Amino acid sequence: MKKSNLIYWFVAVCLIVVTGFTAIHVHNADQKNAVKMAKEAKASSLVAKKEKKINKEIKSRMRNPISWTKSSLTGDYPDVNLKKYKNTKKHKNRLWVEVSTKKQRVYIKSGTYTLYTMYASVAKNYDKGQDQYQKTPNGVFIIDKKRGSSYFDATRGYGALYWTAFAGKGLYRFESVPVNEDGNVIEKLAQQLGKKVTKKNNVNAYGSIRLSIADAKWFEENIPAGTRVVIHTNNSDDDFNDFDN
């Protein structure tokens, strides 16, 4: 056999061997990827089932009719002081607060799971003539250290109990339904809690988020500074769900 033929045969054999190894490697990679995808699908399914179960349980506890003095849910508040709910880098455990202006709800969350749901009054800012500081901001914010048991603003004619700042150097707050100078609830404004907001029934809260007195008190006493707050106008928080930032 000529030398050139031997070289051709050698190259051909090498190509066959390389092709075989490549096929085996690709097959093994496909198997590993399939196993990985199956595990992720199973995990995702388990998370979805757990979320559905939790949401169903929370829905069954929602207080109806709404009370502006009592907690939004019957039963106990979650213990968010547990170490696993601290603002760790593990997004599945991170404590955060979601606010939906469309649903008029505040959700206390850990990762993707809802720990507690609160009725809220959040302005939708229908008035075009509103100054910027009067509008409820949308986006991602951080709970401030500033908080207190009460305040009264004579220029607005109302105050609130148990406030917790989240933006604007204390200007924007989670707080109770409005109270008058004597600390008594202004019922006409309190009745907006958890209700659909319209142009005729807007919430003039100067950017703050109103809660029941019991919820505002628990919030002020338990939600730590540094907790992330996500405020949005639609039904999804996908745009803000990057917990590792």
Number of domains making up the chain: 2
Cβ(58)–Cβ(77) under 8 Å? no
Domain annotation covers residue 161: yes
Q: Domain residues for 16?
A: 1-61
61, 88, 112 — which closes off a domain? 61
134 shares its domain with 231? yes
The structure's pTM equals: 0.76
How far is the C-alpha of 168 from the C-alpha of 161, rounded, in Å? 19
Count how many residues are written for the chain: 245
pLDDT digits (tens, 9 = 90+) for 226-242: 999 999 876 444 444 44
Amino acid at 92: K
Domain annotation covers residue 245: no
Most confidently predicted of 27-36, 112-121, 123-132, 228-237: 112-121
pLDDT digits (tens, 9 = 90+) for 7-32: 666 666 666 766 766 667 666 666 76
